Amino acid sequence: PMGSERTEMRKRQMSATQETPGVAQAQHSTGSRGSNACCFCWCCCCSCSCLTVRNQDEERARRTSHELQAEGIPNCEESPAPTLEEVNAWAQSFDKLMLTPAGRNAFREFLRTEFSEENMLFWMACEELKQESNKSVIEEKARLIYEDYISILSPKEVSLDSRVREVINQNMLEPSQHTFDDAQLQIYTLMHRDSYPRFMNSAIYKDLLRSLSEKSIEA
């Protein structure tokens, strides 16, 4: 009887030993899922705030740049309808195009089709900042410009090189009307060299020019 009891006990021990690795592996697997479920906590619940943030980021990534850029974009500048002479002048130089509200509005319309309207919006925001003299207003507007167009988290971030970004970060320690001057010049140059030639060949410009020419002939 004692022998049979010992044999039975040994069988139970062997059986438990064989089951343990599987249990440990399952526990390890569960632990891994828990640790990977969220970047800030060890839970795997669906209501975790971190998972919510991740889901929002994924949703944002799925949205088109056009949808994102359409958020919070100010209306076009008020301006009288351009004349045929003005529209012809836009073809002479980028500076002449940018001098008039009508020219900027037409160019903005074109930039919107290329999903790069943020370049014009940034340039205009910098021009507006230069008109301010109140220190607190300057600081607030500089902060908003940084958040809207400089921050890598913004969907309206403009393309700037590392040198200019470093200058901006230094200038933001004491914001002034000229905090973004280097960046504004870089974006102006980018629009001039990259977008302006395409605008001159675009349907937006050609249709406007043709329409004004036909009205001029009828008159």
Report the pLDDT value the prediction gives residue 80, as an integer from 0 to 100: 84
Sign of CA dihedral 216, 85, 190, 165: negative
- The answer to whether the CB of 180 falls within 8 A of the CB of 168 is yes
Question: Total structural domains in the chain?
Answer: 1
Report the pLDDT value the prediction gives residue 11, as an integer from 0 to 100: 54
> Could you tell me if residue 199 is inside a domain?
yes
Q: How confident is the model at residue 111 (pLDDT cuts 50, 70, 90)?
A: very high
- Average pLDDT on 6-33 reads 48
> Could you tell me if residue 50 is inside a domain?
no
> Could you tell me if residue 100 is inside a domain?
yes
> Could you tell me if residue 27 is inside a domain?
no
Report the pLDDT value the prediction gives residue 181, as an integer from 0 to 100: 98
pLDDT at 73 over 70: no
> Could you tell me if residue 2 is inside a domain?
no
Q: What does the mean pLDDT of the chain come to?
A: 78
In the chain, what is the straight-line distance between the N-terminal and C-terminal CA atoms, in Å?
122
> Could you tell me if residue 136 is inside a domain?
yes
21-30, pLDDT tens digit by residue? 444 444 444 4
The token duo for 206 is 């050609």
Domain region containing 179: 84-218
Report the pLDDT value the prediction gives residue 30, as an integer from 0 to 100: 44
> Could you tell me if residue 158 is inside a domain?
yes
**Which one, of 117, 133, 124, lies nearest residue 184 by Cα?**
124
Quick one: residue 85, left, alpha or beta (phi over 0 = left, psi -120 to 50 = alpha)? alpha
Report the pLDDT value the prediction gives residue 68, as an integer from 0 to 100: 38
Report the pLDDT value the prediction gives residue 117, as an integer from 0 to 100: 97
Helix count (H) and strand count (E) of the chain? 12, 0
% of the chain beyond a pLDDT of 70: 65
Provide the CATH number for the domain around residue 138: 1.10.167.10
- Average pLDDT on 72-81 reads 68
Report the pLDDT value the prediction gives residue 13, as an integer from 0 to 100: 54
Cα distances (angstroms) measured from residue 177 to each of 4, 140, 143, 170, 188: 94, 11, 12, 14, 17
- Average pLDDT on 141-154 reads 97
**Which one, of 188, 179, 186, 182, lies nearest residue 98 by Cα?**
188
> Could you tell me if residue 13 is inside a domain?
no
Report the pLDDT value the prediction gives residue 9, as an integer from 0 to 100: 54
